Amino acid sequence: MWEDQPKVHVYSEDALVCPYGFIFGLTTDRDEFKMMMWWFHDPLEFYYINETCKNATAVGFGGYSGAYEFVIRQHHQIKFGCVYMVINKNYNFQNMKYSVFANNNSCNFWFCMGPMEQFKRQPPYPAFTLPVDRENYYLAGDSLPKELQATDIGFAIDVLKASGQVFTVYKTPKRPIQTIEVKISKHCSDMVISMDFDGMCTISADLRTNQATYYVNGINIHVGTRPIEIVITFTYSTAYLYTFGTLGFYPLTDCKFDTTLVEKAEYNLKVWYDETRVSSSCETIKLRISDVAAIKRWTTTTTTSTTTTTTTALTEAPTTELSASTASTKIWAVVAVVCFTALVVVIVSVLLLIWWLRKH
């Protein structure tokens, strides 16, 4: 995992909510590089860290063990480092495996790796491939509609401009849904934003001034301090929500994806916000797709509106012409009746005149 010596840290922002007693343990898989770290919490708000390192000649010294204790204060950020000094520079620290054992989910601790780490994904996902009919998709570098914005990797969706819209996102067969990042401006308060993934999972965030509530399929899963960023990652079967600004990790076990999503090349992503709760100072909420993606093109609202207007005008025009034609026909009918009546009167008058002359 490292090209250099390993360095690990354990970090937490909410340690005060941890229950008393054993919290978690951390071990490595190598006999010649054995580390065990155990955390305990007692009623006096002390945290105990028992750490044992068993080292053979491969790393330069035989063994070490020690214990540390310190008091946790409100908003205290715990940071503990265990650094192994390497004498034999040829020792291979790569492919180190760690195991963590925990007995509760009421507090968040983070195992932080060294600056040179690289993680291998298990199971490996196939590489992203562009769709064959790429002309039917928006790709990075294309001219984009107002609902989309270009990023260094691909796209961001403006939730305020795209509310209620469904996007067809290309992900490549046998890959999970791409990672989603939502950065939240301090100006966007008292708003609810939602996203639905292929009709299988709906995630919502109710953002207040200092608080955020998260929902999965309408079920409240957590209430916490408002973060500055939300990140949602996906596996083949479920999703996980991370918060930053306030550090948090929440498995979204109510998000369940079936095997059809794994096999498909695309999925539908719908985004919206509660328009009855709009912050006047909020100008944009960006939903960033942080992995490579392609989004299927659609007919823009402007084109649809123009077509609708034109169609309506064309439909109304014949009605106007029909009304004028009908009125003209009625006038000519009246003229014809008048002329016919006049002609009858003339003929009758002539016949009466001839009859009178014969009599006299």
Return the pLDDT at 304: 36
- Does the pLDDT value for residue 68 go beyond 70? no
Q: Tell me phi and psi for residue 237, to 5 degrees.
A: -120, -20
Top pLDDT among 242 and 110 is at: 242
Average pLDDT, the chain: 75
Contact criterion met (CB below 8 Å) for 269 and 293: no
- Does the pLDDT value for residue 170 go beyond 80? yes
* 63-67, 218-222, 260-264, 337-341: least confidently modelled range: 63-67
Q: What is the dihedral of CA 289, 293, 296, 297, to 10 degrees?
A: 70
Dmax (CA) of the chain: 161
Return the pLDDT at 123: 72
Q: What is the rounded distance in angstroms from the CA atom of residue 106 to the CA atom of residue 18? A: 6
275-332 per-position pLDDT tens digit: 888 777 888 889 999 988 999 998 764 433 333 333 223 233 233 333 434 444 555 5
For the segment 81-107, the average pLDDT, to the nearest whole number, is 64
Return the pLDDT at 348: 72
96-126 per-position pLDDT tens digit: 777 777 766 667 777 766 666 666 767 788 8
Contacts of 251 (CB under 8 A, 6+ apart): 238, 240
296: β partners: 137
Q: What is the pTM of this model?
A: 0.66
Instruction: Please tell me the class of the 134-302 domain.
Output: mainly beta
Contacts of 218 (CB under 8 A, 6+ apart): 202, 204
* 196-210, 275-289, 342-356: least confidently modelled range: 342-356
Contact criterion met (CB below 8 Å) for 231 and 257: no
Residue 98 C-beta-side C-alpha neighbours within 13 Å: 20
Which tokens sit at 138? 């928006």
For the segment 215-226, the average pLDDT, to the nearest whole number, is 91
* Domain residue ranges in the chain: 7-112, 134-302
Q: Which amino acid is at 84?
A: Y
DSSP 250-277: EEETT----HHHHH-SEEEEEEEE-TTS
Return the pLDDT at 212: 92
The total of other beta-carbon atoms located within 10 Å of residue 113's CB is 16
99: β partners: 27
Q: What is the rounded distance in angstroms from the CA atom of residue 221 to the CA atom of residue 211? A: 14
- Does the pLDDT value for residue 224 go beyond 70? yes
176-195 per-position pLDDT tens digit: 999 999 987 888 888 899 99
The edge-to-edge listing of strands for the beta sheet with 33-41 is 63-71, 46-55, 33-41, 21-28, 98-102
